[in-house]
């Protein structure tokens, strides 16, 4: 009888411990921009929906490299010192830093592109992998973005694309754009550049034309100079189309891309499954399911274009 009572007490203690255990979720960002804040908001909302309470069931341990890639390894190591149970990341740089430091700790990422092409997953079917996440496969939306750009600018005939000539990923993204452009009877003028200075010089030499515009493909070199691209576009009256809402907020004429809020919610589901004992290898990579069209009315007004009514009706957000 005493042994029976002792077993009941032990089981009760284990149950109470499981209910009160606080999961430490490490968060690693290259920078805290809108995409990151929206993804975090989505993760928090989904965990709350699943019945978790912050500080009671889980806490976030956040490390932000503030745009400095060199700070990511030490930031990732700092999370290990905090003995986090899993790590949540966004983008390529932060995720790779987490993978290098993790030592088997589960990692959940949110990524705008293809995680395999980006090097985040070598073998998605590997039963030992400790990484899973949500991906938008941005290159696959290139055709849709070009089609929307043509609807925004019915007179569009010529598309300028700038890309890092040293990046295989950028060259692959350019190939997607060239293929999609043929179907829309658009002429691509591609400029392979190797430095920020070369990008600025090439952009500065462009001539503004009524049937031309600038189209962005995923490329770190160009995106790091996005403010210059927007300023030059306004100066030369060249509309710009980028691939995330944050770029439209920053000054692009239009953007079409994944909702990081929704991607964060999907990542929250994966985190919930890992907390409940599932391994990352058992959780397939989720696909972004919601894509938003964002229009910047102020930029359009400045360069002298008017959004068609049909496009305004399609837009998920219009910045005025």
Q: Which helix (H) or strand (E) holds 293?
A: strand 291-296
User: Using N-to-C axis directions, what is the helix angle for 34-49 and 260-275, rounded to 10°?
Assistant: 50
Q: What is the pTM of this model?
A: 0.88
In this prediction, residue 295 carries a pLDDT of: 98
The mean pLDDT values, 10 residues at a time, for the chain of 320 residues are 48 45 96 95 98 96 95 97 96 94 94 90 84 94 96 97 93 94 96 96 90 94 94 96 96 97 98 97 96 97 96 96
Which residue is listed with tokens 């949110």?
110
Q: What are phi and psi of 253, to 5 degrees?
A: -65, -40
In this prediction, residue 103 carries a pLDDT of: 82
The DSSP call for residue 307 is -
In this prediction, residue 20 carries a pLDDT of: 63
Which residue is listed with tokens 């009760």?
12
Contact between 221 and 266 under an 8 Å Cβ cutoff? The reply is no
Nearest to 146 by CA among 225, 243, 290, 289: 243
Q: How far is CA 114 from CA 117, 218, 258, 285, in A?
A: 5, 11, 13, 10
In this prediction, residue 13 carries a pLDDT of: 44
- Quote the CA–CA distance of 230 and 239 in Å, as a whole number: 9
Domains of the chain plus CATH, in order, are: 19-137+259-291 (3.40.50.2300), 139-257+293-319 (3.40.50.2300)
- Quote the CA–CA distance of 76 and 62 in Å, as a whole number: 10
């Amino acid at each position: 009888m005493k042994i029976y009572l002792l077993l009941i007490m032990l089981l009760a203690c284990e149950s109470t411990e499981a209910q009160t255990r606080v999961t430490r979720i490490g968060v690693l960002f290259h920078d805290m921009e809108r995409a990151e804040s929206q993804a975090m908001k989505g993760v928090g909302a989904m965990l709350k929906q699943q019945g978790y309470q912050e500080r009671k069931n889980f806490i976030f341990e956040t490390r932000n490299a503030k745009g400095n890639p060199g700070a990511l390894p030490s930031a990732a190591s700092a999370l290990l010192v905090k003995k986090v149970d899993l790590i949540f990341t966004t983008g390529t740089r932060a995720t790779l830093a987490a993978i290098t430091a993790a030592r088997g700790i589960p990692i959940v990422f949110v990524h705008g592109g293809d995680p395999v092409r980006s090097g985040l997953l070598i073998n998605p079917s590997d039963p030992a992998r400790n990484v899973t996440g949500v991906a938008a496969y941005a290159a696959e939306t290139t055709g849709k973005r070009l089609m929307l750009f043509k609807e925004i600018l019915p007179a569009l005939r010529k598309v300028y694309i700038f890309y890092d000539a040293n990046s295989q990923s950028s060259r692959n993204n350019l190939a997607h754009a060239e293929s999609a452009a043929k179907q829309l009877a658009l002429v691509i003028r591609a400029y392979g550049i190797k430095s920020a200075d070369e990008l600025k010089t090439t952009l500065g030499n462009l001539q503004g034309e009524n049937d031309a515009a600038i189209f962005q493909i995923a490329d770190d070199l160009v995106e790091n100079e996005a403010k210059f691209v927007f300023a030059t576009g306004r100066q030369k009256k060249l509309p710009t189309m980028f691939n995330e809402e944050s770029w439209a907020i920053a000054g692009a004429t239009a953007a079409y891309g994944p909702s990081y809020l929704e991607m964060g919610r999907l990542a929250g589901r994966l985190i919930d499954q890992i907390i409940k004992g599932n391994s990352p290898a058992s959780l397939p990579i989720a696909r972004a399911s919601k894509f938003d069209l964002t229009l910047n009315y102020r930029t359009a007004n400045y360069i002298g274009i008017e959004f068609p009514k049909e496009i305004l009706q399609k837009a998920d957000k219009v910045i005025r």
